[in-house]
Amino acid sequence: MDWTKASVLVTGAASGMGRAIALAFAREGAFVCAADVNLGAAEATVDAALQVGGRALALEVDVARRFSVAAMVERAVAACGRLDVLVNCAGVIGYMPALELTEAEWDRVLDINLKGTFWCCQIVGAAMVASGTGGAIVNVSSISAELPEPDCVHYGVSKAGIAHLTKSLAVALAPHRIRVVALAPGTIRTPMNADVLDEPGFIEGRLKVIPLRRIGVPEDVAGAVLFLASDHAAYVTGSTLLVDGGTTLLR
């Protein structure tokens, strides 16, 4: 797949998987718009992309705010001409027992993970329709969409919502040759979960439910995103790809 004429917008590109995804596309020669609420760290991703010979631009966005997403897309289209790929990777997690979960915490996680993913799909989708050249949207979900976790029910609900959103938008955008897919990572070491992974005994316990017997790395996810966004996945839409080392087989 030749990515050198493609433009890719990655949200959450300042850290973890989003950063690895942005760098993977940059290495392939795509123009990468690296968007994040943390502009300084997004600029560091861009610096790293330039170092691997890529072309990239940092954009500030709060995906939970529709006006902010619209401004990001306007700037991205102005810089690239059109967008071929959107990767919705921005996200947050929070831990709070179900019976103590507050409205503020529910709204924080749902607004960023679910509403934010929808605004990005809607506004980038409209830009892709306007350009008339098709495209691919990859939404980062989680195995938490399927597996109950009573201390982060709001996170699981936000990711389960992404699965439905992905199916509905896949149907809505198919006439415009735009594919919408989701990817559900298992346990991947990133700044989001470094504290939890470093708790004594956590990794030993987790490895018992991962058939491939290792914690994932952001590059595991980046490789799967490259596939889903590429023409190799031209007949894939609406589905969710598990990238979990087999975790859902044992848990």
Ligand X SMILES: NC(=O)c1ccc[n+]([C@@H]2O[C@H](COP(=O)([O-])OP(=O)(O)OC[C@H]3O[C@@H](n4cnc5c(N)ncnc54)[C@H](O)[C@@H]3O)[C@@H](O)[C@H]2O)c1
Active-site residue flag, 235:
no
Burial track 117-137 (b if 16+ CB lie within 10 A, e otherwise): bbbbbbbbbebbbebeeebbb
The site that binds ligand X (CB under 6 A) totals a number of residues, namely: 30
Query: 């954009």: which residue's tokens?
Result: 59
Q: Rg of the chain's alpha carbons, rounded to an integer?
A: 17
Binding ligand X (rule: CB under 6 A), the pick from 185, 220, 224, 241 is: 185
Residues 42-101 that bind ligand X (CB under 6 A): 61-64, 89-93
Nearest Cα neighbor of 84 from 128, 139, 26 is 128
- In this structure, the chain runs to a length of 251
Angle (CA) 46-21-42 rounded to 5° is: 30
Shortest Å distance, C-beta 221 to ligand X: 7
Stretch that binds ligand X, among 7-15, 77-85, 118-126, 231-239 (CB under 6 A): 7-15
191 binds ligand X (CB under 6 A): yes
Q: State the amino acid at position 113 in one-letter form.
A: N
Whether residue 164 contacts residue 224, with contact meaning beta carbons closer than 8 Å, is answered with no
Nearer Cβ to ligand X (64/121): 64
Nearer Cβ to ligand X (174/196): 196
DSSP 111: I
Catalytic residue among 19, 87, 155, 182: 155
Binding ligand X (rule: CB under 6 A), the pick from 9, 33, 36, 165 is: 36
Q: Given the rule CB under 6 A, which residues bind ligand X?
A: 11-12, 14-18, 36-38, 61-64, 89-93, 112, 116, 140, 142, 185, 187-188, 190-193
Which residues are identified as catalytic?
Answer: 155
